[in-house]
Amino acid sequence: MPRTIYYTATSLDGFIATDDHDLGWLLSRKSGEDGPLDYAAFIADVGAICMGANTYEWIHRHSHPADGTQPEPWPYEQPCWVFTHHDLRPWPGADVRPTSGPVEAVHAEMTAAAGGRDLWVVGGGDLAGQFLDAGLLDEVVVNIAPVTLGSGKPLLPRHAELRLIETVRSGEFVAARFEVVR
């Protein structure tokens, strides 16, 4: 059965970005390249992706040089639904599908597009929470960085009951896979 997975990195105190959307605390650290939770193995099984508008904006901002030179390519091969109430900055050639939900309808579209592969909820935390609220989230996979931020964008601002499936050391990170208890 394809799974809907919230796969992300978090600070030890449960934030996925600082208040001003900085990820320096994350990108400055090395994760492992293999092991049961490694990214390459994970993404190979993903058939559709979704994210919120601020996550899309972060990727856009960090892939398009301010001096107008050639942007980096969109990083995903899979179709990507971006939840927003606004017009997104365009990314020519990227299969980006703006949507304003609801998550149930988008989940059905993603499942149809994924061809039996898993669905990845990239974030942010509230969007993952919307899938949880709808009973559509199967797993939470977190790569925990050895840092606390004190405040920031929350990992999953909900009460969620989870069952620990697997842990592994991944470079500087602890990676943990949880199943959502329904």
Residues that bind ligand NAP (CB under 6 A): 8-9, 16-17, 21, 26, 51-55, 58, 83-86, 100-101, 122-125, 127, 130, 153
Of 47 and 52, the one with the shorter C-beta distance to ligand NAP is: 52
In the complex, residue closest to ligand NAP by CB:
52
Determine the Cα–Cα distance for residues 13 and 115; give it in Å rounded to an integer: 36
- Estimate to the nearest angstrom the gap between the alpha carbon of 57 and the chain centroid: 13
Give min distance, CB of 126 to ligand NAP, in A: 6
Of 1 and 91, the one with the shorter C-beta distance to ligand NAP is: 91
Strands (E), the chain: 4-11, 15-17, 46-52, 80-83, 96-99, 118-121, 139-145, 153-154, 162-170, 173-180
Of 20 and 161, the one with the shorter C-beta distance to ligand NAP is: 20
Of 87 and 115, the one with the shorter C-beta distance to ligand NAP is: 87
What does the block give as tokens for 98? 């703006």
| Cβ contact 24:41 at 8 Å | no
Question: Phi/psi of residue 125, each to 5°?
Answer: -65, -40
- Estimate to the nearest angstrom the gap between the alpha carbon of 167 and the chain centroid: 19
Give min distance, CB of 80 to ligand NAP, in A: 12
Of 90 and 115, the one with the shorter C-beta distance to ligand NAP is: 90
Phi-psi region of 14 (alpha: psi -120 to 50; beta: other; left: phi over 0): left
Determine the Cα–Cα distance for residues 179 and 182; give it in Å rounded to an integer: 9
